[in-house]
């Protein structure tokens, strides 16, 4: 095959991928604040971090789990009930949801700094932090560095130390121009998102409605979405907080689902600190706040 023909074929291939990416972007609903509350942006190091706030009372901060369709909309079933008694802040981590996706190094330390600064700048008094998945590690690190800003921790299906099969290869693919966007469009198609939610996230798949899938799909179509996802797949967002947790002396609650995947570290966390209450919710996967919102809200609002 001659060079001109190879160049022509490569150009045609890239053209097809560009057309596919454009179609995916235009087929998505606009990404907007579906959670409610008062939407606001926190200006942080030349980037905008989205958060929404509602309610009055002692502050409570909700932090979603990092994954390729992550957003604060994860808290859709408990945001308003919690705001009836607390001042609730729900933020989108940098690179996810409605927050900016700068071309910057993404790692666990970035999110620890973000949470630290958010608590000092935006939240007026020590807060209860409710963190899902890998964000539990960022919360533990923040509480250790700034205990005066953290009243209590609620760790939901805490997870770290997990490696994705072929994660490094997928991360390298996602970092390629055009090709990376196409790869994410395949990984985060509506069909793929629904499959992951129904088969690997929820115990009750009937709770995975069209609204949830469309919200997840929409945030994946925002420019720059491959950056944080590539870092996640490469293991750069991982933070082993086991030793920090064992030394931490802040009140805490660990909540997990009885049917959650085995990678959650909830059991060893509870063993490392006998003073911490652990609640295992029956008939529940990774997201007790989605599958059992009323019980979850009661647990969060209970006195320490």
pLDDT beyond 50 at 3:
no
**Cα within 13 Å of Cα(182), Cβ side:** 13
Burial annotation 147-167 (CB, 10 A radius, 16+ → b, else e): eebbbbbbbbbbbbeeeeeeb
How far apart are the C-alpha atoms of 36 and 76, rounded to whole Å?
Answer: 9
Tokens of 100: 């900016």
Can you give the pTM of this predicted structure?
Answer: 0.91
How far apart are the C-alpha atoms of 70 and 243, rounded to whole Å?
Answer: 27
How far apart are the C-alpha atoms of 67 and 121, rounded to whole Å?
Answer: 26
Inter-axis angle of helices 108-121 and 135-145, to 10 degrees? 60
Query: Domains of the chain by range and CATH?
Result: 27-301 (3.40.50.1820)
How far apart are the C-alpha atoms of 17 and 289, rounded to whole Å?
Answer: 38
Residues 6+ apart with CB under 8 A from 260: 157, 266, 284, 285, 286
Each residue's pLDDT tens digit, 69-121: 999 999 999 999 999 999 999 999 999 999 999 999 999 999 999 999 999 99
Q: What are phi and psi of 55, to 5 degrees?
A: 95, 175
Closest by CA to 183, choosing from 195, 166, 159, 160, is: 166
Q: What are phi and psi of 277, to 5 degrees?
A: -80, 135
Each residue's pLDDT tens digit, 114-140: 999 999 999 999 999 999 999 999 999
Average pLDDT along the chain: 88
The pLDDT, as a whole number, for residue 25 is: 65
């Amino acid at each position: 095959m001659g060079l001109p023909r190879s160049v022509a074929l490569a150009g045609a291939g890239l053209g097809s991928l560009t057309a596919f990416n454009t179609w995916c972007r235009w087929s998505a609903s606009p990404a907007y604040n579906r959670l409610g509350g008062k939407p606001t942006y926190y200006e942080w190091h030349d980037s905008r971090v989205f958060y929404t706030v509602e309610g009055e009372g002692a502050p409570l901060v909700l932090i979603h789990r990092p994954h390729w369709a992550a957003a604060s909309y994860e808290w859709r079933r408990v945001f308003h009930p919690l705001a009836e008694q607390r001042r609730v802040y729900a933020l989108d981590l940098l690179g996810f949801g409605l927050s900016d996706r700068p071309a910057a190094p993404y790692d666990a330390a970035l999110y620890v700094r973000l949470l630290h600064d958010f608590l000092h700048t935006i939240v007026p008094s020590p807060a209860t932090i409710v963190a899902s998945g890998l964000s539990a590690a960022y919360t533990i690190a923040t509480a250790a560095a700034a205990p005066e800003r953290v009243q209590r921790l609620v760790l939901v299906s805490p997870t770290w130390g997990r490696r994705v099969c072929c994660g490094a290869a997928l991360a390298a693919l996602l970092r390629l121009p055009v090709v990376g966007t196409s790869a994410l469009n395949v990984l985060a198609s509506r069909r793929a998102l629904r499959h992951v939610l129904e088969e690997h996230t929820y115990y009750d798949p009937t709770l995975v409605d069209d609204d949830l899938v469309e919200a997840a799909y929409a945030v994946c179509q925002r420019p720059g979405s491959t950056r944080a996802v590539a870092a996640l797949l490469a293991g750069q967002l991982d933070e082993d907080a086991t030793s920090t947790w064992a030394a931490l002396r802040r009140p805490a609650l660990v909540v997990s689902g009885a049917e959650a995947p085995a990678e959650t570290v909830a059991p060893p966390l509870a063993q490392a600190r006998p003073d911490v209450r652990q609640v295992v919710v029956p008939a529940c996967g990774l997201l007790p706040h989605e599958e059992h919102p009323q019980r979850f809200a009661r647990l969060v609002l209970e006195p320490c």
